[in-house]
């Protein structure tokens, strides 16, 4: 995990259920619905916004990426980790 854990209020964007940490992607941490990818397509990517040193998260849904980026209240260090 590159960043701090996502706040517990961040839920699956598809079904509203819990998220499970999956793996580090190129730009950030990927979380997927705890029900599993076959049961639910919802996922969240936790990354640093381009040109900033702020981290946040965005919903990942098929054909709808990137969605609105929501800044985390609890900030991790984002230097050199921006998404271009």
Count CB atoms within 10 A of the CB of residue 10.
Answer: 17
- The full DSSP string for 23-61 is EE-SSEEEEEETT-TTT---EEEEEEPTTSS-EEEEEEB
Touching Zn ion, residues 45-84 (CB under 5 A): 55, 72
45 or 84: whose CB is closer to Zn ion?
A: 45
With CB under 5 A as the contact rule, the residue among 10, 11, 15, 27 that binds Zn ion is 15
Q: Which residue has the tokens 């598809």?
A: 14
The 20-39 site mask, x for binding Zn ion (CB under 5 A), equals -------------x------
Residues found near Zn ion in the complex (CB under 5 A): 12, 14-15, 17, 33, 40, 42, 55, 72
């Amino acid at each position: 995990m590159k960043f701090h854990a996502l706040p517990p209020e961040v839920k699956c964007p598809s079904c509203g259920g819990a998220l499970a940490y999956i793996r580090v992607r190129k730009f950030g941490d990927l979380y997927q619905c705890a029900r599993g990818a076959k049961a639910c397509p919802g996922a969240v990517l936790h990354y640093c916004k381009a040109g900033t040193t702020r981290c946040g998260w965005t919903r990942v849904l098929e054909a709808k990426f990137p969605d609105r980026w929501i800044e985390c209240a609890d900030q991790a260090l984002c230097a050199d980790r921006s998404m271009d």
